[in-house]
Structure 1
């Protein structure tokens, strides 16, 4: 499956802020792996799609919002590996379709809309059985690829990260953070930046993913997860919310570092890291790796709303 994807490159960031802070800052460019199926999305989909193939499913059904990176990536990956796809979208249909949903349809995804009340039941056995009765024998992937197969894929993101002291990433479901923590040593630390308002609840979700993975039949991890923490102060108002400060930071960062950030996830985390560097949060001499988790397609829809 991985033959379609390029290995991610690591890019160093040297600027006035990093020099004053006395740290070495690098970015793992997961966004460069594939034009459409990139970032952490591929890692969360990989073993879900593999299991679907092994069990001879022909149709994938998954969930997401109207601007979902997961819907975008699942549609593209499923076409790549010859699956039919059904995307269950939160909320009512709004025409014309935004770029994310238009792309999903172009990739062959059938879109189905659920009102927000029904959508909250997406993980229940009752609703999933209703969907299977309606659409037949479908392989269901949860929203965001947030299951233990998604965690397993994320344990493979950092093939060689021993030289780093801290790994920073944006968090939506906590799946990627759990996989990263399982793949690192005890001397390293993972810092997650929730992009949701009141993201403190993710700590419980991550703990559950870690404990469930460690007792699962998936490839064993023979050490405790690396220490991790959440910093919840950089959500900018909540999921997919932006303001002028974040937009100006993103534009400036692209100009100085030639790296485009997505507003929903990576821009908020990068902003947070740069702000914390100026506050002296990170010890001098730290070697810090930031994960660029892709999702650039979502910028188009957000910019159209501004």
Structure 2
């Protein structure tokens, strides 16, 4: 049985730092990386009501999509193991590395992996391709890449509704689902999405289509991608390491690390008015550091 309120709310951690004092702002981190020991961050938020919808759908399996190091694939596999749901993943391939830590975990959870070419993978949102998959996996509830759909937004909206008074709310933005969900539940001031990929301006339209009240005050900042999705500079990684040492908050340089680094620069530049309270959403994704170490992109601890 899938229980919607299985996981309690994550803590809100206030930071103390000379930079914040200098600019007269408060910064708190919503520690969604602590939301669930395995399915943490925005992945649990997005999966929560999708699991309810799955239970109501009459389907008996779950099918989703992801790259070889996908946080969503990892979380979906874990959810399948925990709730005893057979899971499948269409994986961007065409060949799978048997030693990839994300894929090894997924397989250990019982997920069946179906590698496809990059050309075929690009069809993952095409109605005709989805219909073919539905015929092939007739027992499966199909979940989009990243888990973003109407059910996912409902879970993220609850996060926004749980927060205390603040003037700015920030999150890392990949597909736009988390930002759209925050807008769905947010009733206060400006919401900032820090785009983690290059040329992310197209996400503005997708976010507007997802979130129901387009007059909400929000901005998508597209100049903090640090080289594009999956890329990061030595400076960004050093910042992540410094931040963890100083504030005891672990970061990875693909999502939350980029978001926090961008916020730090915006604070230095005086973007936020004196007296502002900023809340930053830590969307988890820390399992991704295993993949970065595996590929030699960061050092092993």
Q: 1:224: Cα distance to partner? A: 6.5
Whether the aligned pair in 2 keeps the contact of 1:182 and 1:226 (CA below 8 Å) is: no
Whether 1:92 aligns to 2:99 is no
Whether 1:189 aligns to 2:190 is yes
Q: 1:266: Cα distance to partner? A: 0.1
Whether 1:296 aligns to 2:297 is no
Q: 1:303: Cα distance to partner? A: 2.2
Q: Can you give the 5+ residue segments of structure 1 that lack an aligned partner in the other structure?
A: 215-222
- What is the aligned partner in structure 2 of residue 70 from structure 1? 72
Q: 1:49: Cα distance to partner? A: 1.3
- What is the aligned partner in structure 2 of residue 113 from structure 1? 115
Summarize the alignment of residues 223-234 of structure 1 with structure 2, pairs less than 5 Å apart.
226-234=216-224
What TM-score results when the alignment is normalised by the length of structure 2?
0.94
Distance 2:14 2:110 in 1: 38
Distance 1:89 1:25 in 2: 38
Q: 1:162: Cα distance to partner? A: 4.2
Whether the aligned pair in 2 keeps the contact of 1:29 and 1:292 (CA below 8 Å) is: yes
Q: 1:149: Cα distance to partner? A: 1.2
Q: 1:136: Cα distance to partner? A: 2.6
RMSD: 1.4
Distance 1:181 1:55 in 2: 27
Distance 1:88 1:103 in 2: 16
Of the candidates 244, 251, 263, which is equivalent to residue 261 of structure 1? 251
Whether the aligned pair in 2 keeps the contact of 1:63 and 1:142 (CA below 8 Å) is: yes
Distance 1:303 1:21 in 2: 36
Whether the aligned pair in 2 keeps the contact of 1:6 and 1:32 (CA below 8 Å) is: no
Q: 1:83: Cα distance to partner? A: 0.9
Distance 2:96 2:113 in 1: 12
- What is the aligned partner in structure 1 of residue 150 from structure 2? 148
Distance 1:225 1:93 in 2: 45
SS at match of 2:191: strand
- What is the aligned partner in structure 2 of residue 167 from structure 1? 169
Distance 1:11 1:225 in 2: 30
SS at match of 1:247: helix
Summarize the alignment of residues 202-281 of structure 1 with structure 2, pairs less than 5 Å apart.
202-210=203-211, 214=212, 226-281=216-271
Distance 2:150 2:4 in 1: 19
Q: 1:94: Cα distance to partner? A: 3.2
Q: How many residue pairs end up in the alignment? A: 294
What TM-score results when the alignment is normalised by the length of structure 1?
0.92
- What is the aligned partner in structure 1 of residue 136 from structure 2? 134
Distance 2:5 2:155 in 1: 15
- What is the aligned partner in structure 1 of residue 201 from structure 2? 200
Distance 1:159 1:76 in 2: 26
SS at match of 2:249: coil
Runs of 4+ in structure 1 off by over 6 angstroms are none
Q: Can you give the 5+ residue segments of structure 2 that lack an aligned partner in the other structure?
A: none
Whether 1:33 aligns to 2:23 is no
- What is the aligned partner in structure 1 of residue 104 from structure 2? 102
- What is the aligned partner in structure 1 of residue 277 from structure 2? 287
